[in-house]
Structure 1
C-alpha cells in the first residue's frame, strides 16, 4: 500500500467539495481564515482524493475564493478506502476540538505578540475569549501603601526627569513635544491612551489655578492637536484612546481629536452619584469621554457585549486630602474599568497630561495593577 504524500499546486475550480461535509463555516470564520492566509501565506495545504474531492480544507477553499486565489497548494491521498475517507473527514475536525490550552502559557504568548504590535485578531480568539484568558484571577487589589505619608516627603522634579516606579515610568515633560515621548517610550508602541487634559474652562482647584486651562479657543485647539498628534504617533494600530473633556468645549476637543487622525467610536458618560458644588445653573453630575481609535487602524475590544455607554462611579472631592486638590480627580475604579475594556495583562498604557496624582497612584502603589503604564 503506497502512502507516499504528494504535494502539488491545483486549480481551485477543479476541486470538488465533499457532498456530505458536516462541518459548517460562518462568514465571520471564513473571513478569519482569509485574514490568516493573507498574513501567513497558504501554509496548510488542502487534502484531496484521487478524483479531486476535498477531504480536509473546505474552509480554506472558501477563504481562498474570497481572496481571489486561482491556484492553491494541495496534498493528494490515494490509499484510503471509502469508509476511511468518510471517517477521516469527521476525525480531522473532531480531533482538533478535543485538544485543550495551557492558559498560563497561552496568556504569555499572546501578551508577547501584543507587545510586538502584532494584530492578534488574526489568531481567531474573540474579544470575550481574550478577556477571560488575561483577566482570570487578576483583579486589582488594595495594598497597605500610605499615600498621605508618602506625599508628605519632599519631592523635586524638573523638565526631562524620568521616574521609574516598579513597572511604571513617569517623565516630567511637555505633552505636545514629540521628543518627550521618544525619550519615554523609545521605539515601543502603546496599547491604550487614557488622557485627562485641561478642560479649557479656567477651573479653580484647592491647590490653585490649573495650568493651560484658560487658553483661548484657537490656542486650546493647537495645544490639544499637538498632544493628540503625539498620542497617535506612539499608539499601535489596534490601540484605543479615551479623552476626558468638558461639554462646554466639546467642539474644540472633537475637532482636535479628529484632525489628529482619530475616529470617534462612542461618546461615553461617567455618571456621578452627586454633583460637585459649582456656581453653575445646571449641576454637572457627569463627565463626558471620547472613546475611539486611529483612523488608519482598528481597535481590539477585550470587554464583553454587556457594557453600556453610561456608567456610574463615585467621584472625589476637590480637597487636598481626597482629590489631591484637583476639581476633577478620577477615582481608581473608573480608570481601572476603562482600561480593562481595551487592553490586557502586560499591555502598555499611556497617560498623557496627568492632571492629578490619583491616576498616577492607580498604577504605582495603592493598587497592584497587571498593566504597565507610562506617564507624561
Structure 2
C-alpha cells in the first residue's frame, strides 16, 4: 500500500496514530482482554489489511469494552490488527451492559448485522470511480486494486448485457404521432434530453440545469451536402428509407448542408457552451483542419486522431470511405488508468444506418467513455438517435442530449425505454410544467 497521511484534524493520538472516532480513553493495548467466547474468527489476511488501513488512515472506530466484564465486545479484529502493527495504544469506548446475555447479544449482532447487508455493486463501482484519482490508496477501502478492477469490469459487462439490443432503433414516428414539441425537456432516469438548439443559451440552460458535464461526445453535421461518403446527394444525407407501404421516406439531418463557414460558426458556438475537460468529436476528413483550429481556439488541446474502422467500405466509386475520424481533445492533464489503454484504431461494424443515417455503434462510444472514465457527465449537442445516451447508460454515466428534431427526440425516448426495459423515472416537462403521464402515454407503445 502506498504511503498516505490524512490531513484532517484528529481528536487524539494513540501511539503516533491519529484517532478520529469518538472514544472515552486512549488505553494500553496490553490491558485489553478479548472475550474468550468470541465466535467471530478473523483470518490473517483480514488482520493484515485492517492493520495497514488503521496505520495509514487512522482510527475511525474504537474498541468497545464492557464495564461489566472488562472484556472486549466489539473490535477484536481491531485489537489483533493493532498488535500486528506493533501499536501500543488504542482508543476505547466503555459501555454498560445489564447482563452477560445482553453483552453476548451485542457481540454477536456486531458481525451478524454486517453479514446481512447486501452490496449494490453499481453504487460501489461509482464510489470507486469517485476515489480512484491517485489521491488515496485504493486498499484503504478494504479492496485490493485487482479486486476493484475485476468488480468494475464485471459490472460494465453486466450493464451492457442487461441492455436489450443497444443498437436497435425504434421506428421514426410520423409528425402526427410525435409526442415531443420544441422546447420540451425529457428526464430519463439519470439522463436529460431537450428538444432545442445547442447554440441557444436558454435551451442549453434548460438542458444542463446548472450541471457541468466533463465530457463532450458528439457527432455534428459535417457540412456534407453534395457528398455521400464519396458522393452524397444534394440536400440530404443520401440514405433511402421506406415506410410499410414501400413509399420512400426522405431522411435528412439538420445543418448537414451548411457551408464550410456555416459549419465553423456552428462549432464555435457549440464549444463556447462547453467548459468541461474532454472532447470526442466525430468528423469528416474534409472538416478536420477547420475543426482542429476551432477546438484549439476554444481552449482544448487536440491530442489524438482516433479512427473508427467500419470494416467495410461505404457507397461510391474510386476510393470508398471505410473509416471515420474522432478528434480527441482535453483541457487538463488526463488521469489515465494504467490498466486501460486502447489503440487509436477502433473496430466495429457500422450500424444499420436506417433511421438516423450517421448513427454510430454503441460499442464505439462505450470505448471512448470507458477510456476516460475519470471524467463525469456526458454532453451531446447533436443527439441524433440517442446512441450517446445508451452508451452513457451502459457505463453508468449521466448524459445531457440536445436534439432539434422532435421526431428524433421521440426516438431517443423510445430507445431508452426499449433498451433499458424501464418505464419509470420518465418525466416530460413542457413550458416549465411537469406533464401528466397521459400526455405522453403513447411514447411507451411499441
Which range, TM-score by smaller chain? 0.5 to 0.7
Which of structures 1 and 2 has the bigger CA Rg?
Answer: 2
The reply to whether residue 307 of structure 1 matches residue 342 of structure 2 is yes
Q: Deviations over 1:197-250 (max 9, x none)?
A: 111222523244432223333332221011012122xx2xxx422111111111
Q: How does 1:317-356 map to 2 (within 5 A)?
A: 317-318=352-353, 320=354, 324-326=355-357, 328-343=358-373, 347-354=376-383, 356=384
TM-score w.r.t. length of structure 2: 0.53
- What's the secondary structure of 1:123's corresponding residue? coil
Aligned to 2:294: 256
Q: How far apart are the structure 1 equivalents of 2:321 and 2:167?
A: 31
Displacement of 1:261: 1.2
- CA 1:303 to 1:349, structure 2 compared with 1: closer, same or farther past 3 Å? farther
Aligned to 2:329: 292
Displacement of 1:194: 0.9
Number of equivalent positions: 288
- What's the secondary structure of 2:155's corresponding residue? coil
Q: Are 1:229 and 1:261, in contact at CA under 8 Å, matched by a contact in 2? A: no
Stretches of structure 2 that go unaligned for 5 or more consecutive residues are 19-27, 29-46, 55-76, 82-116, 140-144, 228-236, 240-249, 403-446
The reply to whether residue 143 of structure 1 matches residue 178 of structure 2 is no
Displacement of 1:119: 8.9
Match of 1:357 among 361, 371, 385: 385
Aligned to 2:194: 171
Q: How far apart are the structure 2 equivalents of 1:164 and 1:261?
A: 31
The reply to whether residue 272 of structure 1 matches residue 319 of structure 2 is no
Q: Are 1:168 and 1:363, in contact at CA under 8 Å, matched by a contact in 2? A: no
Q: How far apart are the structure 1 equivalents of 2:264 and 2:189?
A: 35
Q: Are 2:307 and 2:345, in contact at CA under 8 Å, matched by a contact in 1? A: yes
Aligned to 2:238: 205
Q: Deviations over 1:304-356 (max 9, x none)?
A: 344211121101244x3xxx141x320121112221222279x52222212x3
Q: Deviations over 1:71-116 (max 9, x none)?
A: xxxxxxxx9xxxxxxxxxxx9999216999x99579747736978x
RMSD of the alignment, in Å? 4.3
Q: How far apart are the structure 2 equivalents of 1:350 and 1:167?
A: 13
Q: How far apart are the structure 1 equivalents of 2:356 and 2:149?
A: 35
Aligned to 2:136: 123
- CA 1:165 to 1:284, structure 2 compared with 1: closer, same or farther past 3 Å? same
Displacement of 1:188: 1.8
Displacement of 1:193: 2.0
- CA 1:97 to 1:299, structure 2 compared with 1: closer, same or farther past 3 Å? same
Aligned to 2:396: 370
